């Protein structure tokens, strides 16, 4: 989650931490963070923190927390444990012990225990271990926040919605500047951009785990939902364009646009970027070009990337192009000088967002090599 998203919601003590941003705030702000964040994966509520030496301490610490106050015994649970430099031997064993501790706490409080459901739990409990500290969280999101509810089916390697939204923020695109994804695949950039332009709350079409917690304030949540619906702009034609050379993936993109209520707002067409012209005289081009794992793909891409560079140079003067890739040979082969390279992670995979300012006649790169 980005710190500025939280500050906008009025959260306090907003502090970047490893893998995220910590904040203090009310439950209404927690609901709003889930509803409004375009870039977060989850919002976790810290319910306990302790020093520990081993598995036994973790069991005792988990047993002492007020789980029965937080959720009903009929809710199903799942425990996730992750660790950095922890002395414990097995995270699976800690997972089991924390689950036992939670069940013991319920048995003592109400005579029965919650069931475990690892596939679709009502309540997810996260435990993070460092060398000597353990932090316990209740997950207020449930399904990760990149699941907005608009994706009809997934195509080949779609970008995660929150990563696409984060990249769009880095491009600083805003309507009415034209936006074009010429390799749009299932349409992730297109849908996320449209949701930004129409001020659609990214979580408006889904449910959240906080609705299953005992302290859930349905009125507060309904009020937030109503406010979000009221500010949403009508889906008129947007300056957002998409194309792809594959008719099959365009079918997916169409289904996704329809599911997001954007079928009329965004034009997409089947086109090879090497064959077509820019949809406007200037704008922001954003794409996640194909990348190859097999050698045959790599050979094909080694032909595509220089051609892509030529097309951008010849037909997109006046545009700024942002190419997001895990394939560092793209930077070398495209033959354009990047004005910016932003390292980003797609899960564990290190990627780059390359920015190319396309100006007529001046873009050939000198002999030095970008990476
Ligand atoms: C990594 S995928 C993009 C995924 C997309 N960002 C999404 O979220 O679904 C790359 C896409 O580039 C398309 N593509 C490959 N070569 C192309 C070309 N020469 N012109 C247009 N599209 C192309 C492929 O069909 C594929 O859909």
pLDDT tens per residue, range 132-148: 999 999 999 999 999 99
Give me the pLDDT at residue 365, please: 56
**pTM to 2 decimals?**
0.92
Domain 2-139: give its CATH architecture. 2-Layer Sandwich (3.30)
Report the residue among 290, 304, 305, 308 best suited for mutation to probe ligand 1: largest number of ligand atoms under 8 A from its CB.
290
Task: Give bridge partners of residue 79 from the DSSP assignment.
Answer: 125
CATH 3.40.50.150 fits 161-202+233-357, yes or no: yes
Q: What is the pLDDT of residues 227-244, one digit of tens each?
A: 999 999 998 899 999 999
Tokens (6 digits) for 169: 């923020």
**Residue identifier of the C-alpha nearest atom 15 of ligand 1:** 290
The stretch 314-323 carries a mean pLDDT of 97
Query: CATH 3.30.2130.30 spans which residues of the chain?
Result: 2-139
The answer, yes or no, to whether any atom of ligand 1 lies below 6 A from the CB of 273, is: yes
**Residue identifier of the C-alpha nearest atom 1 of ligand 1:** 290
Chain-centre distance for alpha carbon 367? 37
Could you tell me the maximum CA-CA distance found in the chain, to the nearest angstrom?
A: 77
The answer, yes or no, to whether any atom of ligand 1 lies below 6 A from the CB of 239, is: no
The yes-or-no verdict on residue 44 having pLDDT over 50 is: yes
| Alpha helix positions (H), the chain | 3-8, 27-36, 55-63, 67-70, 91-110, 161-171, 188-197, 218-231, 247-259, 295-315, 328-333
Q: Across all residues in the chain, what is the average pLDDT? A: 93
Q: Are 35 and 224 in contact (CB under 8 A)?
A: yes
Give me the pLDDT at residue 343, please: 96
The answer, yes or no, to whether any atom of ligand 1 lies below 6 A from the CB of 272, is: yes
- The closest of 35, 1, 4 to 20, measured between CA atoms, is 1
Q: Judging by beta carbons within 10 Å of its beta carbon (0-12, 13-18, 19+), is residue 342 exposed, middle or buried?
A: middle
Cα–Cα dist 185/364, whole Å: 28
Cα–Cα dist 197/277, whole Å: 24
Q: Judging by beta carbons within 10 Å of its beta carbon (0-12, 13-18, 19+), is residue 112 exposed, middle or buried?
A: exposed
Query: CATH 3.40.50.150 spans which residues of the chain?
Result: 161-202+233-357
Say how many CA atoms lie within 13 Å of 313 toward its Cβ: 16
The yes-or-no verdict on residue 367 having pLDDT over 60 is: no
Give me the pLDDT at residue 347, please: 83
Measure 318 CA to ligand 1 centroid, in angstroms: 23
The yes-or-no verdict on residue 361 having pLDDT over 70 is: no
The yes-or-no verdict on residue 75 having pLDDT over 60 is: yes
Cα–Cα dist 114/99, whole Å: 10
Q: Which comes out higher in pLDDT, residue 98 or 293? A: 98
């Amino acid at each position: 989650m980005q710190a500025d998203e939280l500050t906008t919601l009025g959260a306090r003590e907003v502090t970047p931490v490893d893998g995220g941003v910590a904040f203090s705030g009310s439950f209404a702000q927690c609901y709003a963070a889930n509803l409004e964040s375009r870039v977060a994966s989850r919002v976790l509520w810290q319910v306990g923190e302790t020093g520990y030496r081993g598995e036994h301490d973790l069991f005792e610490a988990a047993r002492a927390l007020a789980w029965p106050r937080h959720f009903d015994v009929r809710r199903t649970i799942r425990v996730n444990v992750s660790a950095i430099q922890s002395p414990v031997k097995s995270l699976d064993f800690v997972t089991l012990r924390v689950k036992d501790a939670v069940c013991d706490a319920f048995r003592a409080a109400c005579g029965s225990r919650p069931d475990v459901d690892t596939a679709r739990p009502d309540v997810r409990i996260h435990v993070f271990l460092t060398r000597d500290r353990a932090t316990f969280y209740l997950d207020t999101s449930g399904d990760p926040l990149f699941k907005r509810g608009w994706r009809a089916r997934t195509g080949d390697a779609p970008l995660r919605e929150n990563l696409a939204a984060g990249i769009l923020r880095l491009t600083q695109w805003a309507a009415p500047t034209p936006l074009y994804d010429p390799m749009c695949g299932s349409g992730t950039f297109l849908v996320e951009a449209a949701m930004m332009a129409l001020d659609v709350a990214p979580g408006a079409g889904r449910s959240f785990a906080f609705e299953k917690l005992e302290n859930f304030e349905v009125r507060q949540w309904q009020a937030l939902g109503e406010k979000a619906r009221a500010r949403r702009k009508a889906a008129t034609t947007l300056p957002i364009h998409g194309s792809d050379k594959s008719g099959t993936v365009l079918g997916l993109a169409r289904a996704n646009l329809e599911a997001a209520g954007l079928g009329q707002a965004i034009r997409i067409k089947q086109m090879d970027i090497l064959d077509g012209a820019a949809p406007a005289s200037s704008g922001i081009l954003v794409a996640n070009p194909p990348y190859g794992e097999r050698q045959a793909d790599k050979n094909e891409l080694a032909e595509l990337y220089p051609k892509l560079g030529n097309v951008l140079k010849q037909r997109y003067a006046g545009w700024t192009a942002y190419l997001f890739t895990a394939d560092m040979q793209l930077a070398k082969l495209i033959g354009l000088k990047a004005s910016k390279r932003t390292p980003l992670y797609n899960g564990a995979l290190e990627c780059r967002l390359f920015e190319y300012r396309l100006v007529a006649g001046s873009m050939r790169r000198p002999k030095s090599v970008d990476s």
